[in-house]
Structure 1
Amino acid sequence: MSKRRKKDEDHVDESWLIPYADILTLLLALFIVLFAASEIDAQKFKQISDSFNSELQGGKNILDHEAAVETVIPQELIKQEEARNSDISMEQDFKELSELQEKIEGYIEEKGFSPRLQTTLTSKGLVLKITEGILFPPGGANISAEPRKVAQEISNLLVTDLPREILIEGHTDNVPSHSIEYPTNWELSTARAINFMKVLLENQDLKPQNFSATGYSEYRPIATNNTAKGRAENRRVEVLILPYQKPN
Protein backbone atom coordinates (compact mmCIF):
# COMPACT_ATOMS: atom_id res chain seq x y z
CA MET A 1 0.00 0.00 0.00
CA SER A 2 2.79 2.40 0.87
CA LYS A 3 4.63 1.68 -2.41
CA ARG A 4 1.50 2.49 -4.47
CA ARG A 5 1.02 5.76 -2.58
CA LYS A 6 4.66 6.73 -3.21
CA LYS A 7 4.30 5.94 -6.91
CA ASP A 8 1.19 8.14 -7.17
CA GLU A 9 3.01 10.98 -5.42
CA ASP A 10 5.93 10.75 -7.84
CA HIS A 11 3.63 11.11 -10.87
CA VAL A 12 3.42 14.83 -11.88
CA ASP A 13 0.03 16.28 -12.82
CA GLU A 14 0.36 17.41 -16.50
CA SER A 15 -3.16 18.77 -16.99
CA TRP A 16 -1.76 22.33 -17.03
CA LEU A 17 -0.10 21.66 -20.41
CA ILE A 18 -3.40 21.90 -22.28
CA PRO A 19 -4.23 25.55 -21.39
CA TYR A 20 -0.53 26.40 -21.67
CA ALA A 21 -0.47 25.09 -25.27
CA ASP A 22 -3.64 27.05 -26.06
CA ILE A 23 -2.03 30.22 -24.71
CA LEU A 24 1.09 29.68 -26.82
CA THR A 25 -1.08 29.16 -29.90
CA LEU A 26 -2.97 32.39 -29.22
CA LEU A 27 0.26 34.32 -28.65
CA LEU A 28 1.76 33.02 -31.88
CA ALA A 29 -1.37 33.96 -33.80
CA LEU A 30 -1.35 37.38 -32.11
CA PHE A 31 2.21 38.13 -33.21
CA ILE A 32 1.41 37.05 -36.77
CA VAL A 33 -1.67 39.24 -36.92
CA LEU A 34 0.09 42.24 -35.37
CA PHE A 35 2.80 41.91 -37.99
CA ALA A 36 0.21 41.82 -40.76
CA ALA A 37 -1.79 44.67 -39.23
CA SER A 38 0.61 47.19 -40.74
CA GLU A 39 -0.82 46.29 -44.18
CA ILE A 40 -4.53 46.61 -43.31
CA ASP A 41 -6.91 49.40 -42.47
CA ALA A 42 -8.70 50.15 -39.22
CA GLN A 43 -11.85 48.31 -40.22
CA LYS A 44 -9.93 45.10 -40.87
CA PHE A 45 -8.05 45.48 -37.61
CA LYS A 46 -11.37 45.75 -35.77
CA GLN A 47 -12.46 42.46 -37.34
CA ILE A 48 -9.28 40.82 -36.04
CA SER A 49 -9.83 42.34 -32.60
CA ASP A 50 -13.38 41.00 -32.52
CA SER A 51 -12.06 37.55 -33.41
CA PHE A 52 -9.64 37.61 -30.49
CA ASN A 53 -12.37 38.77 -28.14
CA SER A 54 -14.51 35.89 -29.28
CA GLU A 55 -11.66 33.42 -28.63
CA LEU A 56 -10.94 34.76 -25.21
CA GLN A 57 -14.63 34.39 -24.37
CA GLY A 58 -14.72 30.76 -25.44
CA GLY A 59 -15.30 30.94 -29.19
CA LYS A 60 -13.75 28.80 -31.87
CA ASN A 61 -10.04 28.46 -32.48
CA ILE A 62 -8.77 31.72 -33.91
CA LEU A 63 -7.33 29.95 -36.91
CA ASP A 64 -10.88 28.88 -37.85
CA HIS A 65 -11.96 32.46 -38.47
CA GLU A 66 -12.08 33.90 -41.95
CA ALA A 67 -8.81 35.59 -42.81
CA ALA A 68 -9.00 39.31 -42.12
CA VAL A 69 -5.69 40.29 -43.70
CA GLU A 70 -5.87 41.70 -47.22
CA THR A 71 -3.88 39.90 -49.86
CA VAL A 72 -0.81 41.87 -50.86
CA ILE A 73 -0.49 41.94 -54.67
CA PRO A 74 3.13 41.74 -55.88
CA GLN A 75 4.37 44.96 -57.45
CA GLU A 76 5.37 43.12 -60.61
CA LEU A 77 1.78 42.03 -61.19
CA ILE A 78 0.59 45.59 -60.65
CA LYS A 79 3.09 46.87 -63.23
CA GLN A 80 2.00 44.24 -65.73
CA GLU A 81 -1.65 45.21 -65.28
CA GLU A 82 -0.83 48.90 -65.70
CA ALA A 83 1.08 48.13 -68.89
CA ARG A 84 -1.84 46.08 -70.21
CA ASN A 85 -4.27 48.93 -69.47
CA SER A 86 -1.88 51.36 -71.15
CA ASP A 87 -1.84 49.23 -74.30
CA ILE A 88 -5.63 49.19 -74.33
CA SER A 89 -5.69 52.99 -74.00
CA MET A 90 -3.26 53.35 -76.92
CA GLU A 91 -5.44 51.12 -79.06
CA GLN A 92 -8.51 53.16 -78.19
CA ASP A 93 -6.63 56.41 -78.85
CA PHE A 94 -5.49 55.22 -82.29
CA LYS A 95 -9.08 54.25 -83.09
CA GLU A 96 -10.36 57.69 -82.12
CA LEU A 97 -7.67 59.40 -84.21
CA SER A 98 -8.69 57.21 -87.14
CA GLU A 99 -12.31 58.24 -86.67
CA LEU A 100 -11.24 61.90 -86.55
CA GLN A 101 -9.31 61.41 -89.79
CA GLU A 102 -12.40 59.94 -91.45
CA LYS A 103 -14.46 62.94 -90.32
CA ILE A 104 -11.91 65.40 -91.74
CA GLU A 105 -11.64 63.40 -94.97
CA GLY A 106 -15.42 63.58 -95.30
CA TYR A 107 -15.24 67.37 -94.96
CA ILE A 108 -12.46 67.57 -97.57
CA GLU A 109 -14.48 65.50 -100.02
CA GLU A 110 -17.65 67.49 -99.39
CA LYS A 111 -15.90 70.82 -100.03
CA GLY A 112 -13.79 69.54 -102.93
CA PHE A 113 -10.56 70.62 -101.22
CA SER A 114 -8.48 67.58 -102.22
CA PRO A 115 -5.51 67.62 -102.78
CA ARG A 116 -5.10 71.09 -101.25
CA LEU A 117 -6.13 69.62 -97.89
CA GLN A 118 -4.68 66.23 -96.95
CA THR A 119 -4.56 64.06 -93.83
CA THR A 120 -1.96 61.52 -92.74
CA LEU A 121 -2.05 59.31 -89.66
CA THR A 122 1.50 58.83 -88.35
CA SER A 123 3.18 57.58 -85.20
CA LYS A 124 3.39 61.23 -84.06
CA GLY A 125 -0.34 61.79 -84.49
CA LEU A 126 -2.84 62.93 -87.09
CA VAL A 127 -1.46 65.50 -89.56
CA LEU A 128 -3.68 67.88 -91.54
CA LYS A 129 -1.75 69.60 -94.34
CA ILE A 130 -3.15 72.86 -95.76
CA THR A 131 -1.51 74.32 -98.84
CA GLU A 132 -0.98 78.04 -99.37
CA GLY A 133 -3.91 78.68 -101.69
CA ILE A 134 -6.50 77.64 -99.10
CA LEU A 135 -5.61 80.17 -96.40
CA PHE A 136 -3.05 82.73 -97.56
CA PRO A 137 -2.18 84.76 -100.65
CA PRO A 138 1.35 84.35 -102.07
CA GLY A 139 3.90 86.01 -99.78
CA GLY A 140 1.23 86.98 -97.22
CA ALA A 141 0.00 85.80 -93.83
CA ASN A 142 -3.33 87.58 -93.45
CA ILE A 143 -6.49 85.47 -93.60
CA SER A 144 -9.31 87.07 -95.61
CA ALA A 145 -13.05 86.41 -95.32
CA GLU A 146 -13.38 83.21 -97.37
CA PRO A 147 -10.28 81.51 -95.94
CA ARG A 148 -11.44 82.54 -92.46
CA LYS A 149 -14.66 80.60 -93.01
CA VAL A 150 -12.63 77.52 -93.95
CA ALA A 151 -10.46 77.94 -90.85
CA GLN A 152 -13.57 78.17 -88.68
CA GLU A 153 -14.96 74.99 -90.20
CA ILE A 154 -11.66 73.25 -89.53
CA SER A 155 -11.80 74.42 -85.92
CA ASN A 156 -15.09 72.58 -85.48
CA LEU A 157 -13.44 69.39 -86.73
CA LEU A 158 -10.70 69.72 -84.10
CA VAL A 159 -13.09 69.54 -81.15
CA THR A 160 -12.58 66.11 -79.55
CA ASP A 161 -13.73 64.40 -76.37
CA LEU A 162 -10.16 63.94 -75.16
CA PRO A 163 -8.16 67.15 -74.55
CA ARG A 164 -5.44 66.67 -77.17
CA GLU A 165 -2.48 68.97 -77.77
CA ILE A 166 -2.44 70.55 -81.22
CA LEU A 167 0.66 71.99 -82.89
CA ILE A 168 0.36 74.51 -85.74
CA GLU A 169 3.41 74.61 -88.03
CA GLY A 170 4.11 77.18 -90.74
CA HIS A 171 6.39 76.34 -93.72
CA THR A 172 7.61 78.22 -96.80
CA ASP A 173 9.59 77.46 -99.94
CA ASN A 174 13.14 78.72 -100.39
CA VAL A 175 12.20 81.88 -102.26
CA PRO A 176 13.36 84.75 -99.99
CA SER A 177 10.79 87.06 -98.46
CA HIS A 178 11.76 90.73 -98.71
CA SER A 179 8.59 92.50 -97.57
CA ILE A 180 8.73 95.08 -94.82
CA GLU A 181 6.24 93.11 -92.73
CA TYR A 182 8.00 89.76 -93.26
CA PRO A 183 11.68 90.44 -94.01
CA THR A 184 12.56 86.71 -94.00
CA ASN A 185 10.79 83.39 -94.36
CA TRP A 186 11.10 82.92 -90.60
CA GLU A 187 8.72 85.78 -89.93
CA LEU A 188 6.42 84.72 -92.77
CA SER A 189 6.11 81.08 -91.68
CA THR A 190 5.65 82.00 -88.03
CA ALA A 191 3.03 84.66 -88.79
CA ARG A 192 1.03 82.19 -90.87
CA ALA A 193 1.02 79.63 -88.07
CA ILE A 194 0.03 82.18 -85.42
CA ASN A 195 -2.68 83.87 -87.50
CA PHE A 196 -4.25 80.53 -88.37
CA MET A 197 -4.14 79.45 -84.73
CA LYS A 198 -5.86 82.67 -83.65
CA VAL A 199 -8.80 81.95 -85.95
CA LEU A 200 -9.04 78.40 -84.66
CA LEU A 201 -9.14 79.61 -81.06
CA GLU A 202 -12.13 81.80 -81.77
CA ASN A 203 -13.95 78.51 -81.26
CA GLN A 204 -14.81 78.49 -77.55
CA ASP A 205 -14.80 74.69 -77.48
CA LEU A 206 -11.03 74.62 -78.07
CA LYS A 207 -8.68 75.27 -75.15
CA PRO A 208 -5.79 77.70 -75.82
CA GLN A 209 -3.53 75.84 -73.36
CA ASN A 210 -3.58 72.84 -75.70
CA PHE A 211 -2.26 74.83 -78.68
CA SER A 212 1.13 76.02 -79.83
CA ALA A 213 2.38 77.62 -83.04
CA THR A 214 5.81 77.72 -84.66
CA GLY A 215 7.43 78.59 -87.97
CA TYR A 216 10.06 76.47 -89.74
CA SER A 217 10.77 78.82 -92.62
CA GLU A 218 12.09 76.87 -95.65
CA TYR A 219 14.03 74.28 -93.67
CA ARG A 220 11.57 71.41 -93.55
CA PRO A 221 10.59 70.89 -97.17
CA ILE A 222 8.48 67.93 -98.26
CA ALA A 223 9.26 68.36 -101.96
CA THR A 224 11.98 69.82 -104.16
CA ASN A 225 12.29 73.59 -104.41
CA ASN A 226 13.65 73.28 -107.94
CA THR A 227 10.19 73.22 -109.52
CA ALA A 228 7.09 75.39 -109.19
CA LYS A 229 5.06 72.35 -108.16
CA GLY A 230 7.56 71.40 -105.47
CA ARG A 231 7.68 74.95 -104.07
CA ALA A 232 3.88 75.01 -103.95
CA GLU A 233 3.98 71.79 -101.91
CA ASN A 234 6.40 73.33 -99.45
CA ARG A 235 4.30 76.46 -98.88
CA ARG A 236 1.92 75.01 -96.32
CA VAL A 237 0.52 75.00 -92.81
CA GLU A 238 0.38 71.70 -90.95
CA VAL A 239 -1.87 70.87 -88.01
CA LEU A 240 -0.48 68.07 -85.86
CA ILE A 241 -3.04 66.49 -83.53
CA LEU A 242 -1.09 64.58 -80.91
CA PRO A 243 -2.08 61.30 -79.24
CA TYR A 244 -3.81 61.77 -75.93
CA GLN A 245 -1.54 62.20 -72.94
CA LYS A 246 -2.83 61.95 -69.37
CA PRO A 247 -2.21 65.10 -67.32
CA ASN A 248 0.55 64.75 -64.72
Structure 2
Amino acid sequence: MSKHHKKHHHEEHVDESWLIPYADLLTLLLALFIILFASSQTDSKKYNAIMQSLNAAFTSGTGFFEMSNVVPMTDPNPGAKKNDGADGQQQNPETPQTPAEQKTEEEKQKALEVAFQEEKRQLEELKQKLDDYIQNNNLSTQLETKLTNDMLMITIRDNALFASGSATVKPEAQALAVSMSNMLAQYPGYNIEVAGHTDNVPISRRDFESNWDLSGVRAMNFMKILLRNTALSPEKFRTIGYGEFQPVDTNDTPEGRAKNRRVEVSIIRNLKPAQSAQVQ
Protein backbone atom coordinates (compact mmCIF):
# COMPACT_ATOMS: atom_id res chain seq x y z
CA MET A 1 0.00 0.00 0.00
CA SER A 2 2.89 2.30 0.63
CA LYS A 3 4.13 1.83 -2.93
CA HIS A 4 0.68 2.61 -4.30
CA HIS A 5 0.50 5.85 -2.33
CA LYS A 6 3.88 7.06 -3.60
CA LYS A 7 2.89 6.38 -7.22
CA HIS A 8 -0.34 8.33 -6.86
CA HIS A 9 1.50 11.33 -5.46
CA HIS A 10 3.95 11.35 -8.41
CA GLU A 11 1.13 11.33 -10.98
CA GLU A 12 -0.45 14.41 -9.42
CA HIS A 13 2.73 16.55 -10.06
CA VAL A 14 1.84 19.42 -12.48
CA ASP A 15 3.78 19.76 -15.75
CA GLU A 16 5.52 23.20 -15.72
CA SER A 17 7.21 23.04 -19.14
CA TRP A 18 4.81 25.70 -20.45
CA LEU A 19 6.70 28.31 -18.38
CA ILE A 20 9.60 28.34 -20.84
CA PRO A 21 7.71 29.70 -23.90
CA TYR A 22 5.70 31.93 -21.57
CA ALA A 23 8.92 33.48 -20.20
CA ASP A 24 10.25 33.91 -23.73
CA LEU A 25 7.03 35.69 -24.71
CA LEU A 26 7.30 38.03 -21.72
CA THR A 27 10.92 38.75 -22.59
CA LEU A 28 10.00 39.63 -26.18
CA LEU A 29 7.16 41.88 -24.99
CA LEU A 30 9.51 43.59 -22.57
CA ALA A 31 12.05 44.09 -25.36
CA LEU A 32 9.33 45.51 -27.61
CA PHE A 33 8.23 48.10 -25.04
CA ILE A 34 11.82 49.00 -24.26
CA ILE A 35 12.56 49.58 -27.97
CA LEU A 36 9.41 51.68 -28.35
CA PHE A 37 10.43 53.70 -25.34
CA ALA A 38 13.99 54.14 -26.61
CA SER A 39 12.88 55.19 -30.11
CA SER A 40 10.91 58.09 -28.64
CA GLN A 41 13.98 59.48 -26.86
CA THR A 42 16.82 61.56 -28.34
CA ASP A 43 19.29 61.04 -25.53
CA SER A 44 22.16 58.99 -26.96
CA LYS A 45 23.23 57.86 -23.50
CA LYS A 46 19.81 56.36 -22.80
CA TYR A 47 19.73 54.64 -26.17
CA ASN A 48 23.17 53.12 -25.68
CA ALA A 49 22.24 51.96 -22.18
CA ILE A 50 19.08 50.27 -23.45
CA MET A 51 20.93 48.55 -26.28
CA GLN A 52 23.48 47.27 -23.78
CA SER A 53 20.64 45.99 -21.58
CA LEU A 54 19.00 44.17 -24.47
CA ASN A 55 22.26 42.58 -25.41
CA ALA A 56 22.78 41.53 -21.79
CA ALA A 57 19.23 40.13 -21.57
CA PHE A 58 19.75 37.80 -24.52
CA THR A 59 23.20 36.75 -23.35
CA SER A 60 22.18 36.17 -19.67
CA GLY A 61 24.17 39.25 -18.61
CA THR A 62 23.20 42.19 -16.48
CA GLY A 63 19.83 43.65 -17.38
CA PHE A 64 18.73 47.22 -17.87
CA PHE A 65 17.20 47.64 -14.42
CA GLU A 66 20.24 46.11 -12.76
CA MET A 67 22.63 48.57 -14.41
CA SER A 68 20.35 51.59 -14.10
CA ASN A 69 22.28 52.63 -11.02
CA VAL A 70 25.49 52.69 -13.06
CA VAL A 71 24.37 54.55 -16.19
CA PRO A 72 22.22 57.58 -15.20
CA MET A 73 19.13 58.25 -17.28
CA THR A 74 19.55 62.04 -17.00
CA ASP A 75 22.55 64.37 -17.15
CA PRO A 76 23.94 64.52 -13.58
CA ASN A 77 25.24 68.03 -14.24
CA PRO A 78 22.87 69.76 -16.70
CA GLY A 79 24.58 73.12 -16.21
CA ALA A 80 27.94 71.91 -17.45
CA LYS A 81 28.84 72.53 -21.08
CA LYS A 82 31.27 70.55 -23.12
CA ASN A 83 33.97 72.35 -25.06
CA ASP A 84 34.28 70.22 -28.17
CA GLY A 85 37.23 70.76 -30.48
CA ALA A 86 37.28 70.48 -34.26
CA ASP A 87 37.76 66.71 -34.00
CA GLY A 88 34.73 66.30 -31.77
CA GLN A 89 36.78 65.42 -28.70
CA GLN A 90 36.41 67.33 -25.48
CA GLN A 91 39.24 69.77 -24.94
CA ASN A 92 40.79 69.89 -21.52
CA PRO A 93 41.36 73.30 -19.94
CA GLU A 94 44.87 74.68 -20.09
CA THR A 95 47.11 72.75 -17.76
CA PRO A 96 48.66 75.03 -15.13
CA GLN A 97 52.40 75.38 -15.30
CA THR A 98 54.46 73.51 -12.79
CA PRO A 99 56.79 75.50 -10.51
CA ALA A 100 59.75 74.32 -12.60
CA GLU A 101 58.09 75.50 -15.83
CA GLN A 102 57.19 78.84 -14.25
CA LYS A 103 60.78 79.28 -13.14
CA THR A 104 62.08 78.51 -16.63
CA GLU A 105 59.63 81.01 -18.16
CA GLU A 106 60.69 83.69 -15.69
CA GLU A 107 64.34 83.04 -16.53
CA LYS A 108 63.59 83.43 -20.24
CA GLN A 109 61.77 86.70 -19.64
CA LYS A 110 64.62 88.02 -17.50
CA ALA A 111 67.13 87.09 -20.22
CA LEU A 112 64.95 88.85 -22.80
CA GLU A 113 64.81 91.99 -20.69
CA VAL A 114 68.59 91.97 -20.20
CA ALA A 115 69.12 91.58 -23.95
CA PHE A 116 66.68 94.38 -24.70
CA GLN A 117 68.35 96.77 -22.28
CA GLU A 118 71.77 95.95 -23.72
CA GLU A 119 70.56 96.56 -27.27
CA LYS A 120 69.00 99.85 -26.21
CA ARG A 121 72.27 100.91 -24.60
CA GLN A 122 74.29 100.01 -27.69
CA LEU A 123 72.05 101.89 -30.12
CA GLU A 124 71.93 104.96 -27.89
CA GLU A 125 75.73 104.84 -27.64
CA LEU A 126 76.11 104.51 -31.42
CA LYS A 127 73.71 107.40 -31.99
CA GLN A 128 75.77 109.57 -29.65
CA LYS A 129 78.96 108.73 -31.53
CA LEU A 130 77.32 109.62 -34.84
CA ASP A 131 75.93 112.87 -33.43
CA ASP A 132 79.38 113.80 -32.13
CA TYR A 133 80.89 113.09 -35.56
CA ILE A 134 78.22 115.22 -37.26
CA GLN A 135 78.82 118.10 -34.86
CA ASN A 136 82.61 117.92 -35.01
CA ASN A 137 82.57 117.98 -38.82
CA ASN A 138 79.84 120.62 -39.22
CA LEU A 139 77.54 118.19 -41.04
CA SER A 140 74.30 119.00 -39.23
CA THR A 141 72.70 120.28 -42.46
CA GLN A 142 73.62 117.10 -44.31
CA LEU A 143 73.25 114.28 -41.77
CA GLU A 144 70.63 113.46 -39.17
CA THR A 145 70.11 110.54 -36.79
CA LYS A 146 66.86 109.24 -35.32
CA LEU A 147 66.28 106.36 -32.89
CA THR A 148 62.83 104.73 -33.11
CA ASN A 149 61.18 101.57 -31.77
CA ASP A 150 62.29 99.76 -34.93
CA MET A 151 65.71 101.12 -35.83
CA LEU A 152 68.45 103.70 -35.61
CA MET A 153 68.22 105.65 -38.86
CA ILE A 154 70.98 107.83 -40.34
CA THR A 155 69.67 110.18 -43.04
CA ILE A 156 72.18 111.67 -45.50
CA ARG A 157 71.17 114.38 -47.97
CA ASP A 158 71.97 113.40 -51.53
CA ASN A 159 74.07 116.53 -52.19
CA ALA A 160 76.48 115.33 -49.50
CA LEU A 161 77.11 112.13 -51.45
CA PHE A 162 76.30 112.61 -55.14
CA ALA A 163 76.36 115.18 -57.87
CA SER A 164 72.99 116.04 -59.41
CA GLY A 165 71.58 113.08 -61.37
CA SER A 166 74.65 110.93 -60.55
CA ALA A 167 74.99 107.71 -58.57
CA THR A 168 78.77 107.99 -58.10
CA VAL A 169 79.76 108.76 -54.51
CA LYS A 170 81.81 111.98 -54.32
CA PRO A 171 85.46 111.47 -53.32
CA GLU A 172 85.07 113.81 -50.33
CA ALA A 173 82.00 111.83 -49.20
CA GLN A 174 83.89 108.57 -49.05
CA ALA A 175 85.55 109.70 -45.80
CA LEU A 176 82.07 109.88 -44.30
CA ALA A 177 81.33 106.31 -45.41
CA VAL A 178 84.61 105.06 -43.94
CA SER A 179 83.97 106.74 -40.57
CA MET A 180 80.44 105.38 -40.50
CA SER A 181 81.61 101.84 -41.30
CA ASN A 182 84.17 101.99 -38.46
CA MET A 183 81.43 102.91 -36.00
CA LEU A 184 79.08 100.23 -37.33
CA ALA A 185 81.81 97.59 -36.95
CA GLN A 186 81.84 98.24 -33.19
CA TYR A 187 78.26 96.99 -32.96
CA PRO A 188 77.99 93.71 -34.91
CA GLY A 189 74.91 91.55 -34.94
CA TYR A 190 72.48 94.08 -36.43
CA ASN A 191 70.91 93.94 -39.88
CA ILE A 192 71.54 97.10 -41.87
CA GLU A 193 69.46 98.50 -44.72
CA VAL A 194 70.73 101.14 -47.14
CA ALA A 195 67.82 102.83 -48.93
CA GLY A 196 67.88 105.42 -51.74
CA HIS A 197 65.20 108.10 -52.29
CA THR A 198 64.66 110.79 -54.94
CA ASP A 199 62.25 113.63 -55.63
CA ASN A 200 59.56 113.36 -58.30
CA VAL A 201 61.39 115.25 -61.04
CA PRO A 202 61.77 112.83 -64.00
CA ILE A 203 65.34 111.71 -64.66
CA SER A 204 66.71 112.76 -68.06
CA ARG A 205 69.92 110.69 -68.16
CA ARG A 206 70.30 107.76 -70.55
CA ASP A 207 71.93 105.52 -67.92
CA PHE A 208 68.87 105.66 -65.63
CA GLU A 209 65.43 104.87 -66.97
CA SER A 210 63.65 106.23 -63.89
CA ASN A 211 64.15 107.70 -60.44
CA TRP A 212 63.67 104.18 -59.14
CA ASP A 213 66.80 103.05 -60.95
CA LEU A 214 68.75 106.08 -59.73
CA SER A 215 67.76 105.55 -56.08
CA GLY A 216 68.63 101.85 -56.20
CA VAL A 217 72.08 102.35 -57.72
CA ARG A 218 72.89 105.15 -55.26
CA ALA A 219 72.06 102.88 -52.33
CA MET A 220 74.15 100.06 -53.81
CA ASN A 221 77.20 102.25 -54.43
CA PHE A 222 77.16 103.70 -50.90
CA MET A 223 76.79 100.23 -49.37
CA LYS A 224 79.80 98.98 -51.36
CA ILE A 225 81.97 101.64 -49.76
CA LEU A 226 80.73 100.69 -46.29
CA LEU A 227 81.57 97.04 -46.96
CA ARG A 228 85.17 97.83 -47.81
CA ASN A 229 85.55 97.51 -44.06
CA THR A 230 86.22 93.78 -43.67
CA ALA A 231 85.02 93.88 -40.05
CA LEU A 232 81.45 94.22 -41.34
CA SER A 233 79.44 91.13 -42.36
CA PRO A 234 78.00 91.44 -45.90
CA GLU A 235 75.19 89.00 -45.04
CA LYS A 236 73.83 91.61 -42.62
CA PHE A 237 73.37 94.22 -45.36
CA ARG A 238 70.69 94.86 -47.95
CA THR A 239 69.83 97.73 -50.30
CA ILE A 240 66.56 99.05 -51.67
CA GLY A 241 65.54 101.87 -54.00
CA TYR A 242 62.29 103.65 -53.18
CA GLY A 243 62.53 106.23 -55.95
CA GLU A 244 60.13 109.12 -55.41
CA PHE A 245 57.47 107.10 -53.62
CA GLN A 246 58.33 107.70 -49.95
CA PRO A 247 58.80 111.47 -49.66
CA VAL A 248 59.35 113.13 -46.29
CA ASP A 249 58.39 116.58 -47.57
CA THR A 250 56.54 118.24 -50.40
CA ASN A 251 57.89 118.04 -53.93
CA ASP A 252 56.35 121.42 -54.77
CA THR A 253 59.30 123.46 -53.47
CA PRO A 254 63.08 123.24 -54.02
CA GLU A 255 63.60 122.87 -50.26
CA GLY A 256 61.12 120.01 -50.05
CA ARG A 257 62.61 118.19 -53.03
CA ALA A 258 66.09 118.55 -51.48
CA LYS A 259 64.87 116.78 -48.33
CA ASN A 260 63.32 114.00 -50.37
CA ARG A 261 66.59 113.27 -52.17
CA ARG A 262 68.43 111.24 -49.56
CA VAL A 263 70.11 107.99 -48.55
CA GLU A 264 69.01 106.30 -45.33
CA VAL A 265 71.20 103.83 -43.43
CA SER A 266 69.04 101.95 -40.93
CA ILE A 267 70.40 99.75 -38.13
CA ILE A 268 67.47 97.41 -37.46
CA ARG A 269 66.59 96.45 -33.89
CA ASN A 270 66.64 92.75 -33.06
CA LEU A 271 64.27 93.29 -30.13
CA LYS A 272 61.30 95.63 -30.11
CA PRO A 273 59.87 97.42 -27.05
CA ALA A 274 56.68 95.38 -27.45
CA GLN A 275 58.65 92.19 -26.79
CA SER A 276 60.20 93.69 -23.69
CA ALA A 277 56.77 94.71 -22.37
CA GLN A 278 56.01 91.05 -21.66
CA VAL A 279 58.28 91.21 -18.63
CA GLN A 280 57.32 94.64 -17.35
| TM-score, scaled relative to structure 2 | 0.60
Deviations for 1:31-77, whole angstroms, at most 9, x for unmatched residues?
Answer: xxxxxxxxxxxxxxxxxxxxxxxxxxxxxxxxxxxxxxxxx852233
Q: How many residues align?
A: 174
Q: Which residue of 2 aligns with 1:196?
A: 222
Give the secondary structure class of the aligned counterpart of 1:127: strand
C-alpha contact 1:162 1:244 (8 A) present in aligned 2:
no
CA distance in 1, matches of 2:210, 2:257: 16
Give the secondary structure class of the aligned counterpart of 2:140: coil
Deviations for 1:164-213, whole angstroms, at most 9, x for unmatched residues?
Answer: 11100000011111211111011000000000000000011111011000
Establish whether residue 214 from structure 1 lines up as the match of residue 240 from structure 2.
Answer: yes
Runs of 4+ in 1 over 4 A off after TM superposition: none
In the alignment, residue 251 of structure 2 is paired with which amino acid? N
Comparing 199-208 with 159-168, greater Cα deviation is found at 159-168
In the alignment, residue 174 of structure 1 is paired with which amino acid? N
Establish whether residue 148 from structure 1 lines up as the match of residue 159 from structure 2.
Answer: no
- How far did 1:244 drift? 3.7
CA distance in 2, matches of 1:208, 1:123: 24
- How far did 1:162 drift? 3.4
Q: Which residue of 2 aligns with 1:120?
A: 146
Q: Which residue of 1 aligns with 2:191?
A: 165
In the alignment, residue 200 of structure 2 is paired with which amino acid? N
Give the secondary structure class of the aligned counterpart of 1:158: helix
Give the secondary structure class of the aligned counterpart of 2:199: coil
In the alignment, residue 114 of structure 2 is paired with which amino acid? I
Give the secondary structure class of the aligned counterpart of 2:106: helix
CA distance in 1, matches of 2:184, 2:156: 14
- How far did 1:144 drift? 2.8
Q: Which residue of 2 aligns with 1:12?
A: none
In the alignment, residue 179 of structure 1 is paired with which amino acid? R
CA distance in 2, matches of 1:81, 1:145: 51
C-alpha contact 2:122 2:187 (8 A) present in aligned 1:
no
Structure having the higher helix fraction is 1
CA distance in 2, matches of 1:176, 1:229: 17
Q: Which residue of 2 aligns with 1:45?
A: none
CA distance in 2, matches of 1:144, 1:169: 18
Give the secondary structure class of the aligned counterpart of 1:196: helix
Give the secondary structure class of the aligned counterpart of 2:239: strand
Give the secondary structure class of the aligned counterpart of 1:239: strand
Give the secondary structure class of the aligned counterpart of 2:166: coil
Q: For 2:251, which of 225, 234, 246 is the aligned residue?
A: 225
Q: Who wins on radius of gyration, i.e. which is larger?
A: 2
- How far did 1:150 drift? 1.9
After the TM superposition, which residues 53-72 of structure 1 pair with which residues of structure 2 at under 5 Å, given as runs? none
RMSD of aligned alpha carbons? 1.4
CA distance in 2, matches of 1:134, 1:153: 14
Establish whether residue 135 from structure 1 lines up as the match of residue 161 from structure 2.
Answer: yes
In the alignment, residue 129 of structure 1 is paired with which amino acid? T
Q: Which residue of 2 aligns with 1:235?
A: 261
CA distance in 1, matches of 2:119, 2:192: 15
In the alignment, residue 215 of structure 1 is paired with which amino acid? G
CA distance in 2, matches of 1:95, 1:174: 38
Establish whether residue 104 from structure 1 lines up as the match of residue 130 from structure 2.
Answer: yes
| TM-score, scaled relative to structure 1 | 0.67
Give the secondary structure class of the aligned counterpart of 2:126: helix
Give the secondary structure class of the aligned counterpart of 2:243: coil
C-alpha contact 2:163 2:170 (8 A) present in aligned 1:
no
For structure 1, the residue ranges without an aligned partner over 5 or more in a row are 1-71
CA distance in 1, matches of 2:246, 2:171: 29
